[in-house]
Structure 1
């Protein structure tokens, strides 16, 4: 049975999953990876979800404050061998519930065009494509989404 745990970026399981995420993104993004890596620092995330299957970490996601009533979804990852089992949707839903408990009205996020699985995940979970925001404005490879909670 898959369970989710609330934690912070200090969590060692989260840190290990993020290392795997960064390896995958380096391969997919190539030369653009350094730009994205600078925007994905994880040392001060207070809202992190780690998913477990029988005490084994199998996925993660996090939130970063974007504005007074909006959180940005960050560092969503499920290892390749665990994909297609609904784990990412479960993590995303846990993040959304946490947002609602905090009084947050909206989630925004950015993913890359080289991550079609992520794009499909967000569309499946009722996120709408929006113009690129913040540091992603004008970035050709970025796709941004939002969801009203």
Structure 2
């Protein structure tokens, strides 16, 4: 029984005397266990392993929820950014038609870029005409 205990093959260093003695005592104690104590130890080991297995399940599920949620958010962002209707190439609108439609309900004078340049030649006359308007206001 005094044979030296070999180290495990995955260990690269030789076993120290203290480790050898501890292993020998462990193996001897395991052989000398009464059946009742051995049964209790096996039951405790099974319970511990079952508890460890159940404890890993939520962690395992959470490990997949984060990437799945990120993929779902990317898909949602792509769906919201995608145009809903195809845009067809259209010709430029007729600016004269837009100007006349906009002038009907606009009380402000047109912008200088959109108005006829001849209208701005006699601004004094338009000021005099507005000041001397003799028509009654109709509401």
For the aligned pair, the TM-score class normalised by the smaller chain equals under 0.3
Decide which structure has the larger Cα Rg and report it: 2
Compare relative contact order (CA 8 Å, sep 6+) and give the higher one, 1 or 2.
1
Q: What is the TM-score of this pair, normalised by structure 2?
A: 0.15
- Normalized per residue, the structure richer in strand is 1
- Normalized per residue, the structure richer in helix is 2
